[in-house]
């Protein structure tokens, strides 16, 4: 197959960056539409809806971390091909889907629908992390899109940090069936762990 | 007419890319606002609204494919003129319109309004594909905006892939009058066909 | 005053372009949220809401034309200063305001509130065109931000095309008090006149 | 620690600019969704909802000023590190949160919930200004991300202009407990003071 070669120069990485930057930034910024305060009096309502704030902050940071990872990945690639573009569109489809389960979590974390809401949130993250792995291991590494000057340690650091994602999210989703609040706490911890300690940031 | 010449250097292709990237990315990301789950219990509602997920994924991918095509087209052009900018604005108008018929499809695919919803979706895609053809055959080829170094095979590959669009969408729209579900299935297949196999991707 | 000099190199025109591109593209794309079809049966509702489609298309094209003008203006400037940035922020404030009067027009063009809706639309466009004039005549020309190599004919063409705007929009707003539909027709004609024939496009 | 060095070249400032530009532009443009006119007759409703217009304009300009400050800060930095990226994500989280308290202010400035709405608005601005200070003093200056060729006077001008922010916003928030309208007036004055006179603009 020579897709990669054929595309070279026609569809530059720079354009993929621009579209992806847009989708990540818009998906993150749309999250605020999920924060709604219609109860009365407002002072009590603003305290009552704390799950909305938590869901907003955690998901915004999570999209921010995902954007940094995606941007790092694009920075290591110097051409695109058909498979890469297809996997990338599906990844962006799940990123842009996140405002929906976040809205469910914000609205239902404390009511009888908490289990379904947390499960929907967890499964979306599971699909997101599976597509990140597919884009990296199959779309980039297997198909040879990596720039020739990329340090092998950087590649290994990214690979190591991508593998646990699906397991964390499938685990946290399973916990949702027992305790939605504990599941939500795991999502929060995982997000801040990835933000602060992950080798995604530290090993480069 | 010497519009093309007069604009050269004043309104660069790079700016058209930036605006178009924004519209494509925002239109795709706004689609999630069409996915709504207000019924109860949530666990059943999340299964019941499967047409929302299908309409979201198909339209997001479709906008992604349209964005790749649009970006490829812009990559072959090294100047803009008045006609090109006008056709481009109308094309973006229909792209940004897509969240509306997608919302209709998500809400009505399984009720008595399915025919009207599917028809609205199909006609929007028909207009989109007609404008893509107008932008390419009239705006770019006829008016000579193509970069001098573009390979003739690339031009022919794009031309071949643009022509069937209107026929597919007028056909699928007609089918909506008989069976909305079959029509929706054709839109889905056409989108994934364009995504995976189309000469839009493969022949370059 | 030496603001312009002090800013040179610190706040590049390129960044203003990026922010403006975002605001124009988002404002245009948000317009689709103003197109709402909740009546039943859907087939009749989709015909009944034709003012929504008209308001959507006209305002989208109008924002597109405004974006081309704004982009052309930025292309003639090679530095920014405080006054320019302030006028630019106010201009973007009115551009991003447009989805609101468009929503009013879409909802009320055919009911007893048509006069108020059309007037709100016209006054927003009036303020927009006044700010375009302020940005160009005061922010750019008077304060000397023009690139030294800009052709005097281009400058005169833009000046000639900016002056009629406020008069057209104050006139069309006044007409709204007599006949909202005639006023809306003038807005539509003005938009397509600017799009197709205006010296904004033709004289450069 | 050598994060800064390790990131150099992998995660360029240019990408942070693109994401930040997106979030600032989208947050500002989403504000228009907070302006709602559903009362009747429309002519009276459009006057009655003046707090919506005020909240829209003030917050849009405020986000515009914040964007100029953020862009200036990024223009002085020639590399990013983990701490900078984390602080930056939290800053963007609060910027994108602004449409929520703005919606509260627009809806409640004149009713019995004005105190809670104004307080929510003030506290969001307080957190925003604290994160701006953290990003500048800790993320940039303390950790040495400043480009070597930046003029010391520019650095001092920015430092001087950042310090009063938290005090202004904590003061205005406290005033909200006594008089929401006076508090809102202070936010308005502070915004236009920053826009017109602040050393953020003038001293560079």
List of chain C residues whose C-beta atoms are within 8 Å of the C-beta of residue D71: 11, 15, 19
Taking one residue from A and the other from B, the number of pairs with CB-CB distance under 8 angstroms is: 95
**D-chain residues near A37 (CB < 8 A):** 100, 104
Q: Do C17 and B22 touch (CB under 8 A)?
A: no
Q: Is D56 on the interface with C (CB under 8 A)?
A: yes
Q: What is the pLDDT of residues A154-165, one digit of tens each?
A: 888 888 888 988
pLDDT higher at C158 or A91: A91
The answer to whether residue B194 neighbours chain A at the CB level (below 8 Å) is: no
DSSP structural state of residue C76 = T
Is residue A99 within 8 Å of residue A63, measured between CB atoms?
Answer: no
Inter-residue contact D113 to A43 (CB < 8 Å): yes
pLDDT tens, residue by residue, A65-115: 999 889 889 889 888 888 888 999 999 999 999 999 999 999 999 999 999
Q: Taking CB atoms and an 8 Å limit, are B28 and A33 in contact across chains?
A: no
Whether the pLDDT of residue A168 is over 70: the answer is: yes
Give mean pLDDT, residues A123-152. Answer: 91
**Å between C7 CA and nearest CA of chain B:** 23
- What is the C-alpha to C-alpha distance for residues D128 and D88, in angstroms, rounded to an integer? 11
Q: Do A46 and D15 touch (CB under 8 A)?
A: no
Residue A143 burial (C-beta neighbours within 10 Å; 0-12, 13-18, 19+) = middle
User: For the residues of chain A, what is the DSSP string, one character each?
Assistant: --HHHHHTTTS-HHHHHHHHHHHHHHHHHHGGGG----SSSHHHHHHHTHHHHHHHHHHHHHHHHHHHHHHHHHHTBS---HHHHHHHHHHHHHHHHTHHHHHHHHHHTTSTTHHHHHHHHHHHHHHHHHHHHIIIIIIIIITT-B-TT--HHHHHHHHHHHTHHHHHHHHHHHHHTT-HHHHHHHHHHHHHHHHHT-HHHHT-
B201 touches chain C (CB under 8 A): no
Residue of D nearest to C86 (CA): D195
Q: What is the dihedral of CA B68, B69, B72, B78, to 10 degrees?
A: -130
Question: Which of A21, A29, A202 is the closest to D27 by Cβ?
Answer: A29
Q: How much is the average pLDDT of A42-56?
A: 95
The predicted model gives B110-137 an average pLDDT of: 95
Beta carbons of A40 and D82 less than 8 Å apart: no
Dump pLDDT digits (tens) for B90-99. 999 999 999 9
Residue A47 has pLDDT above 90, yes or no: yes
Q: Report the Cα A150 to chain-centroid distance in Å.
A: 24
**pLDDT above 60 (res D204):** no
pLDDT at A197: 65
Residue span of the structural domain in which A158 resides: 3-202
Q: Measured between CB atoms, which of C28, C32, C65 is closest to B100?
A: C32
**Which of the pair, D114 or B14, is modelled with greater confidence?**
D114
Q: What is the number of residues in chain D?
A: 204
- Tell whether B30 lies on the interface with C, counting CB pairs under 8 A: yes
pLDDT of C88 reads 94
Nearest CA among B165, B183, B184 for reference residue B126: B165
Average pLDDT value over all residues in chain C: 88
End-to-end CA distance of chain A: 32
Q: How far apart are CA B99 and CA B199, in angstroms?
A: 27
Q: CB of D116 within 8 Å of any CB in chain A?
A: yes
Confidence of residue B3 (pLDDT cuts 50, 70, 90): very low
Instruction: State both tokens at C97.
Output: 């305001």
B22 in reach of chain A (CB within 8 A): yes
Q: Which residues of B touch A97 (CB under 8 A)?
A: 32, 35, 56
Give whole-number Cα distances, C113 to A166, C41, C53, D46, in Å: 54, 25, 18, 11
Unique residue bearing structure tokens 């936010």: D187
Strand partners, D146: D77
**Residue to test with chain D: of C2, C7, C8, C10, most D Cβ within 10 A:** C10
Cβ–Cβ of B22/C22 closer than 8 Å? yes
Query: What is the mean pLDDT of the segment spanning D168-172?
Result: 93
C1, closest residue in chain D (CA to CA): D202
Q: What percent of chain B has pLDDT over 90?
A: 60
The verdict on C71 touching B (C-beta cutoff 8 Å) is yes
A60 and D92 in contact by Cβ < 8 A?
yes
The structure tokens listed for A72 are 């790092």
Percent above pLDDT 90 for chain D:
60
| Cross-chain residue pair A32–D100, CB shorter than 8 Å | yes
Q: Could C60 and B93 be called an inter-chain contact, meaning their C-beta atoms sit closer than 8 Å?
A: yes
Please provide residue A77's backbone torsions phi and psi, each rounded to the nearest 5 degrees: -110, 140
Find, in chain C, the residue whose alpha carbon is nearest to that of B16: C68
Distance from C-alpha of C145 to C-alpha of B65, rounded to nearest angstrom:
41
Q: C115 — contact with chain D (CB < 8 Å)?
A: yes
Contact C75 B99 (CB under 8 A): no
Query: Residue C78: left if φ>0, alpha if ψ -120 to 50, beta else—which one?
Result: alpha
Q: How many helices (H) and strands (E) does chain B have?
A: 11, 0
Peptide bond into D41 cis (omega under 30): yes
Residues of C with Cβ-Cβ distance to B113 under 8 angstroms: 40-43
Q: Given this model, what pLDDT does residue A1 score?
A: 31
CB within 8 Å: A28 and D113: no
Q: Locate the chain A residue with the closest alpha carbon to B39.
A: A113
For C88-139, the pLDDT digits (tens) are: 999 999 999 999 999 999 999 999 999 999 999 999 999 999 999 999 999 8
Contact residues for D79 (Cβ-Cβ < 8 A; gap 6+): D4, D7, D8, D13, D145
CA C179 distance to own-chain centroid: 23
Predicted complex ipTM = 0.89
Cis omega (within 30 of 0) for bond into B29: no
C-beta separation of A122 from A187 below 8 A: yes
Contacts of B71 in chain A (CB under 8 A): 11, 15, 19
Residues of chain D positioned with their CB less than 8 A from the CB of A40: 113
Tens digit of each residue's pLDDT (9 = 90 or more) over B16-71: 888 999 999 999 999 999 999 998 899 999 999 999 999 999 999 999 999 988 98
pLDDT at A202 exceeding the cut of 60 = no
- Nearest-neighbour CA in chain C from B197: distance (Å): 30
The predicted structure's pLDDT at residue B197: 65
All residues of chain B having their beta carbon less than 8 Å from the beta carbon of residue A70 are: none
Measure in Å the smallest separation between the Cα of A85 and chain B Cα atoms.
9
Across the interface, which of B29, B40, B154 has its CB nearest the CB of A96? B29
The pLDDT value recorded for residue C144 is 84
Percentage with pLDDT > 70 across chain D: 91
Task: Specify the DSSP element, H or E, that contains D79.
Answer: none
Separation of alpha carbons A195 and A188, rounded Å: 11
Q: Judge whether B17 is closer than 8 Å to chain C, CB to CB.
A: no
Q: Cβ(A122)–Cβ(A89) under 8 Å?
A: no
Using CB atoms, pick whichever of A28, A42, A43 lies closest to residue D23: A28
Average pLDDT, chain D: 88
pTM of the full structure = 0.91
- Comparing B99 with C69, the larger pLDDT belongs to B99
How many domains are contained in chain D? 1
A174 — pLDDT class (breaks 50, 70, 90): very high
Interchain CB distance below 8 Å, C43 and B113: yes
Closest partner residue to D97 (CB to CB) among A32, A37, A201 is A32
Decide if pLDDT at A198 tops 80: no
- Inter-chain CB proximity B60 and A89 less than 8 Å: yes
Query: What are the structure tokens assigned to C153, written together?
Result: 């004919």
């Amino acid at each position: 197959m020579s897709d990669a070669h054929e595309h070279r120069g026609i569809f530059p990485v720079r354009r993929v960056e621009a579209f992806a930057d847009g989708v990540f930034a818009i998906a993150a910024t749309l999250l605020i539409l999920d924060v709604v305060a219609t109860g009365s009096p407002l002072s009590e309502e603003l305290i009552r809806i704390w799950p909305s704030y938590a869901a907003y902050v955690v998901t915004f940071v999570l999209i921010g971390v995902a954007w940094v990872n995606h941007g790092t990945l694009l920075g290591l690639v110097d051409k695109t091909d058909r498979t890469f573009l297809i996997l990338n569109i599906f990844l962006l489809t799940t990123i842009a889907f996140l405002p929906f389960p976040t809205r469910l979590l914000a609205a239902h974390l404390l009511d009888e629908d908490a289990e379904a809401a947390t499960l929907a949130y967890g499964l979306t993250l599971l699909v997101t992390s599976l597509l990140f792995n597919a884009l990296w291991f199959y779309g980039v590494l297997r198909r040879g899109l990596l720039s020739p000057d990329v340090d092998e340690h950087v590649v290994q650091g990214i690979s190591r940090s991508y593998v646990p994602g699906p397991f964390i999210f499938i685990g946290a989703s399973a916990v949702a069936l027992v305790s939605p609040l504990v599941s939500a706490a795991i999502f929060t911890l995982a997000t801040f762990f990835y933000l602060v300690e992950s080798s995604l940031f530290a090993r480069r």
